[in-house]
């Protein structure tokens, strides 16, 4: 029998690629993304690799609760690595999420400000009726 | 300017007055009544100067909403904000504002006061002159840290204990 790990091997994510990250409305003030949006959950900061999560809307739908409470930002892999942080493809077999990727490294005040600098809205909460 | 009959004329917070006989304080020639529990009370400046900080005090008051956040407030696993952490952050903010004012007569702009998923609190200043992020951790849970920079490339960062650090030095960021 084929193991899921065989179907979804861990891949190297190129610097030119894009990650999506959901941002809950409680991390947005006056429509503006705040640095508290960048935090670790487990091994790192959870994101979705665009290669297997093609649209920002798809990333938003992957929220386990209340997707409508989330906006989505896009982050370039190269700029993340320049901060410097590590980007690892970490497929989540339990949640059947091949796109899952972790951004690993301490989220100090400086790092979070750098992440704020490179994040761009893909789905802004203001655009929705949330 | 009227601060209201039941408001402290220094911090302008509405709070119970203590009686003039034993607890209320008068400061000639300003004749400003100050509640004994006034949070601005340790200022070395004339107490009236605290009126300049009304916007910040208003932001602190509004930030009490952070205490209403329950476990999972981000629809995931975010920790609630403890009152002790909120007091730690707001006390630090008041002391910082006072220290900068003492050093340079600059009144810092009002920061964003935001909850973090780990139960800590962010204070974020963003202006055209500088930006500064200070993260205040719950007592006993790791280092608090900060990062600030100006558009011309000056920057400052480090870890600290909010109770021990005098942040007046950041006046160079704001001026």
Domain extent listing, chain B = 3-173
- Count how many pairs of residues, chain A against chain B, have C-beta atoms within 8 Å: 57
Identity of the residue in B75, B76, B122 whose CB atom sits nearest the CB atom of A35 = B122
Tell me the per-residue pLDDT of A81-111, one tens digit each, with 9 for 90 and over: 999 999 999 999 988 999 999 999 999 999 9
- Bigger pLDDT: B5 or B55? B55
Q: What is the Cα–Cα distance from A23 to A27, expressed in whole angstroms? A: 7
Bridge partners (DSSP) of residue B124 are B112, B133
Tell me the per-residue pLDDT of A17-28, one tens digit each, with 9 for 90 and over: 999 999 999 999
- The strand order across the sheet containing A86-89 reads A86-89, A100-104, A45-49, A18-24, A70-76, A120-123
Q: Smallest CA–CA separation between B37 and chain A, in Å?
A: 31
Domain extent listing, chain A = 11-123
Q: Do B74 and A27 touch (CB under 8 A)?
A: yes
The pLDDT of A1-7, averaged and rounded, is 61
Taking 50 as the threshold, does the pLDDT of residue B28 lie above it? no
Cβ distance A23 to A36 under 8 Å?
A: no
- Bigger pLDDT: B105 or A91? A91
Among residues 34-73 of chain A, which lie with CB inside 8 Å of chain B? Answer: 34-36, 39, 41, 63-66, 69-70
Q: What is the Cα–Cα distance from A85 to A74, expressed in whole angstroms? A: 16
Cβ distance B133 to B120 under 8 Å?
A: no
Average pLDDT of chain A, as a whole number: 92
């Amino acid at each position: 029998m084929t193991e899921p790990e065989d179907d979804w091997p861990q891949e190297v994510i190129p610097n030119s690629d894009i990650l999506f990250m959901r941002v809950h409305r409680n991390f947005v003030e006056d429509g503006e993304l705040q640095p508290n949006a960048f935090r670790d959950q487990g091994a790192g900061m959870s994101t979705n690799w665009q290669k297997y999560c093609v649209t920002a809307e798809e990333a938003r739908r992957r929220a386990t609760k209340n997707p409508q409470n989330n906006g989505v930002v896009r982050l370039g892999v190269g700029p993340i690595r320049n901060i410097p942080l590590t980007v690892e493809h970490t497929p989540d077999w339990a949640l059947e999420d091949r796109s899952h990727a972790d951004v690993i490294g301490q989220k100090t005040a400086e790092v979070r400000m750098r992440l704020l600098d490179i994040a761009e809205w893909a789905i802004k909460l203001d655009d929705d009726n949330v | 300017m009227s601060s209201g009959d039941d408001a402290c004329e220094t911090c302008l917070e509405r709070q119970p007055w203590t009686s003039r006989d034993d607890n209320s304080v008068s400061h000639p020639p300003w004749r400003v009544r100050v509640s004994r529990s006034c949070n601005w009370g340790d200022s070395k400046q004339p107490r009236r100067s605290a009126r300049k900080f009304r916007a910040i005090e208003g932001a602190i008051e509004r930030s009490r909403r952070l205490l209403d956040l329950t476990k999972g407030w981000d629809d995931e696993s975010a920790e609630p904000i403890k009152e002790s952490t909120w007091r730690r952050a707001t006390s630090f903010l008041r002391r910082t504002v006072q220290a900068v004012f003492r050093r340079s007569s600059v009144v810092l702009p009002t920061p964003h006061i935001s909850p973090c998923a780990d139960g800590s609190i962010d204070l974020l200043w963003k202006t055209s002159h500088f930006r500064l992020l200070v993260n205040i951790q719950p007592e006993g849970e790791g280092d608090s840290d900060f990062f600030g920079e100006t558009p011309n490339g000056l920057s400052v960062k480090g870890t600290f204990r909010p109770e021990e650090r005098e942040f007046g030095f950041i006046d160079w960021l704001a001026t």
